Amino acid sequence: MRISVIFAGKYSKREAKMSNTDTFRVCVIGLGSMGMGAALSCLRAGLATSGVDLSRDRLDAFAKAGGEAVAVSASELTTEFDAAIVLVVNAAQARDAILGDTGIASRMRPGGTIMVSCTQSAADAQSLGLDITARGLLMLDAPVSGGAAKAASGDMTVMASGPRAAFDALAPVLDAVAAKVYEIGPDIGQGATVKVIHQLLAGVHIAVGAEAMALAARAGIPLETMYEVVTNAAGNSWMFENRMRHVVDGDYTPNSAVDIFVKDLGLVTETGRSHAFPLPLASAAFAMFQQASNMGYGKEDDSAVIKTFAGIDLPTAGDKS
């Protein structure tokens, strides 16, 4: 499998070959923490951008920011689009948002391209790709990473696979939303597989970070001190630094919820089974997130997995002791 970085930064000479951005129109499906950032990044890049979301508050916020049009379903929009970005939670939502009765496929221009950025299995991505192609459209299997902050600044990492024509057609969008775009290969499903493997690491890092902080709490080490030591030492990771800050602050307001990692680590374990490959650490982390969800923390921030540990005192919001 050949893996290449299309760009690390922003498009330059390639821009001149792209569609005229005065007529290029993009629709972002899903204006959550990642989707809103992507949509706003498209606006900053000068792309005429519409948004679709079930939340009226999110739609109003995007319209106020300059969105060309907003709606609770794509079928309510009157514009035809050259490109769409689908940033919903899972494969079922993506399929419905694209090919359902009110999906974006009916609002795409002939030959338009859909960037599917949910976390899903390779099999689901492949099935969706076949059905999108049958509609005369292109699909880029393009999961993303970077969190809400990178989405807001237009600096996401995109791990994408699909035909060259899809990469080229989406160049203005990729330029707007990403700092790095990795071309995994030409086959739909390859991008999905890379994202699933990435989520293995992300989920295990959160789980082991929670385990470490729980042990610190049991041992009587102030969690602020433990956090400062780790984030300035070799044991740090991006997930530890980001998520364990929430634990120190006692703030479990979700950007990514526990139930998201129940889903994602479920995909990880299914991928392992499909390849007859053991994943002992991922399986342990999956069990921890399942337990946290079963205990009623599924809608809280994924750092709430630390609440599965009994007999420890955790900070509460506003408590800096």
- List, in order of start, the domains of the chain with CATH numbers: 4-186 (3.40.50.720), 194-308 (1.10.1040.10)
User: Three-state DSSP class for 250?
Assistant: coil
What would the pLDDT profile of 146-172 be if each residue is shown by its tens digit?
Answer: 989 999 999 999 999 999 999 999 999
Segment 194-215 mean pLDDT: 98
What is the pLDDT at residue 17?
A: 40
CA distance 137 to 24: 16
Choosing from 13, 17, 195, 299, which is the catalytic residue?
Answer: 195
User: Three-state DSSP class for 174?
Assistant: helix
What is the pLDDT at residue 186?
A: 97
What would the pLDDT profile of 13-69 be if each residue is shown by its tens digit?
Answer: 344 344 455 689 999 999 998 999 999 999 999 999 999 999 999 999 999 999 999
What integer best gives the mean pLDDT of the chain? 93
Hunting for tokens 């041992």 — which residue is that? 219
Q: Is 195 a catalytic residue?
A: yes
CB 175 within 8 A of CB 148: no
Q: Which amino acid is at 240?
A: F
Instruction: Judge whether residue 71 has pLDDT over 80.
Output: yes
Residues near 22 by Cβ (< 8 Å), separated by ≥ 6? Answer: none
